[in-house]
Amino acid sequence: MNPLRRVRRYSLMFFALLNVYSLALFAEPNENPFPEFKLSLVVTDLNNPWAFVFLEQDKLLITEKSGRLLLVQHGHIQSWILGIPEVLNQGQGGLMDVALHPDYQNNGWIYLSYAYEDDEGNATRVIRGHLDNYTFIDQQIIFTASPLKQTPVHYGARLAFLPDNSLLITVGDGFDYREEAQRLTSQLGKIIRVNDDGSLPSDNPFASHKEYDPYIYSYGHRNPQGLIYDHVNNRIIAHEHGPTGGDEINVIEAGENYGWPVITKGTDYSGALISPYKTYPGMRLPNFDWTPSVAPSSMIQYKGAMFNELKGDLLISTLKSHDIKWLQMKDNQFIQQHSILGHLNHRIRDIDEDGDGAIYVLTDGENASLIKLTAKDVIVETSQITTE
């Protein structure tokens, strides 16, 4: 039987949730070796922010789902950026990721992802432009996911550049369209690769297959919102939201199938079995998974010198478990997981580091904040955050 048909059949079979959650790949240790740090507030009163990026030290851009792009400098909101296109601020949609071209200092290109809508439906869209006197100008559409969908959820929308300056874009499955993740004629449930101007890279895995979409880089994804290039091991790493459980980290390789919805450790929110399969021929298993779900929202590979113990490791923000996951790596393998910032009890939307190696985390929702983590012996001039 076609595995997608069998998935649909099992999705209609409801069952009582007993003790079906699997353990994470590595248990949390009793002692957390994360180095000592102190917290400070950088900026407060943010309204449903989604992502941020440093233009230079102490100068950054923050996106808000409503469509506002904020310029923040020295801990103060300097201005809203004018000229941002209208976004679909509904459900999980809105203005989402922001990224700089690797040669930004020379070409000034800034990339934005957002939920686009027209009379036919909505989609993940990516544009680029320049910042001039607090206005976003010279706008170019880089990518619009196809086909359009009706659900305002599962956009993906994370951006990451590769060393050749090509751009990876995550596109979610649209929730009600999960079978599209397995169809190579659809861009839903995929990681897409384009050149920095939106054109097609000639070495994409399906560029020479007339029957497939040539922009697809990998497929079988649900809602990937973490995406980096691992410069230490020269590989792409992504994480994605599962349903009830089955959040995944995957090492991404060109043309590979990552299984959704045919293989998953998660169950549907209703309690229905999504698929009878945990493995399937030709489909990649995750390198790491969380069951129950932690809802991973973003990720960096730490490169700085302020926290030497973290160098080369992954830091992953989470929404559901309200913490940062520190995933240690050794010899190209994930070896141990630890958690920090759980005592703040905040959903965490995004994470990054500045040029000094200080770590910044962006909380989620209304009245959100940007928080800075520094080593204990570093002088912090911004106002202190209360953690009691």
Residue 387's DSSP bridge partners are none
Rounded-to-integer distance, Cα 302 and Cα 195, Å: 26
Residue 105, helix vs strand vs coil: helix
Task: Verify whether residue 322 is a known catalytic residue.
Answer: no
Which residues have a Cβ under 8 Å from the Cβ of 372 and sit 6 or more positions away?
A: 39, 40, 41, 42, 358, 359, 360, 380, 382
CB 291 within 8 A of CB 277: no
Choose, from 74, 76, 101, 154, the residue flagged as catalytic.
Answer: 154
CB 362 within 8 A of CB 341: no
Rounded-to-integer distance, Cα 179 and Cα 221, Å: 10
Residue 220, helix vs strand vs coil: coil
Rounded-to-integer distance, Cα 261 and Cα 240, Å: 13
Residue 307, helix vs strand vs coil: coil
Rounded-to-integer distance, Cα 147 and Cα 3, Å: 22
* CA 291 to each of CA 25, 70, 265, 369: distance values in angstroms, whole numbers, following the listed order: 9, 35, 7, 28
Which of 339, 372, 342 is closest to 358 using CA atoms?
Answer: 372
Active-site positions? 154
